[in-house]
Amino acid sequence: MAQQLTIAGKQLSSRFFLGTGRYPNPYVQNEAIRASEAEVLTFAIRRVNLETPGEDAILQHLDDNHSFTYLPNTSGAKTAEEAVRIARLAKASGLSDWIKVEISADEKTLLPDPVETLKATEILASEGFTVLPYTSDDPVLCKRLEEAGAAAVMPGGSPIGTGLGILNPYNLSLITEQAAVPVIVDAGLGSAMDVIQAMELGVDGVLMNTPVAKAKDPVKMALAMKHAINAGRLSYEAGRIPKKRYATASSGLPSFISY
């Protein structure tokens, strides 16, 4: 078995962080969540009724037999000030003190604003939030976010919803190599192959929504992604063989000689 993931002292058996939006209906949503075995669920705070979060259209359909860790996000915020305000509202409502900082200034690419993301992370971490910022795959910025108090960093493999996979595996490998906090790939993955590549680069987990929710069969895709995460992590922990220019026989020449 792969080792457990720990974020801010909380142990998680699953390395799959799953979004709750864009599913065809609540039944499919619940079945996909069940198949994924995800323990952390994420959703946009602006889509939740914070006055009565337990009765919200997104949250009320979740399976009551499971205890989830909620990771609300600040999607829609364009500045650190907006993100901080949204996070404080979520915490005051009793929803969660975990927060995914998501600040995008460009609506076409939805790429994260590095300056505003760093500002918001510093403020919210100082206020006791467990901050998981969505960021670009910049190793320097990821390190700065960690130093600012992020409990984990969440670089995108490629822009949100594109399904382009990991565009810069070199940068991602540098991020995992230098990080003293967990690294969760957030955004851009589209298939089990993308997930395995990310996990074999040494990331600690994967967050996704669209690749599961908008698949032809979201439940099957959730199951596929779960297995890909587990297989990729086990492969990383096991240690792959080095790549070589020429072949190496699995059995030496004497084994083919009979007397």
Q: Report the mean per-residue pLDDT for the chain.
A: 88
Evaluate if residue 211 carries a pLDDT over 70: yes
Report the C-alpha gap between 169 and 203 in whole angstroms.
11
Look up residue 51 and give its amino acid: E
**What's the pLDDT at 44?**
85
pLDDT at 258: 59
SS3 at position 7: strand
pLDDT at 48: 63
Q: What's the pLDDT at 46?
A: 74
The answer to whether the CB of 130 falls within 8 A of the CB of 151 is: yes
Query: What would the pLDDT profile of 91-122 be if each residue is shown by its tens digit?
Result: 888 888 999 999 998 888 888 999 999 999 99
Q: Is 100 a catalytic residue?
A: yes
The CA-CA-CA angle for residues 45, 134, 62, to 5°, reads: 40
Q: Is 20 annotated as a binding residue?
A: no
Q: How many CA atoms lie within 13 A of 166 on its CB side?
A: 22
pTM for the complete prediction? 0.87
Q: What is the average per-residue pLDDT within 7-31? A: 92
**209 annotated ligand binder:** yes
Question: pLDDT tens digit string along 147-194?
Answer: 999 999 999 999 888 889 999 999 999 999 999 999 999 988 999 999
CATH architecture of 5-238: Alpha-Beta Barrel (3.20)
* 210 known ligand binder: yes
Catalytic residue, candidates 10, 91, 100, 243: 100
Extents of the domains making up the chain: 5-238
pLDDT classification of 45: cutoffs 50, 70, 90: confident
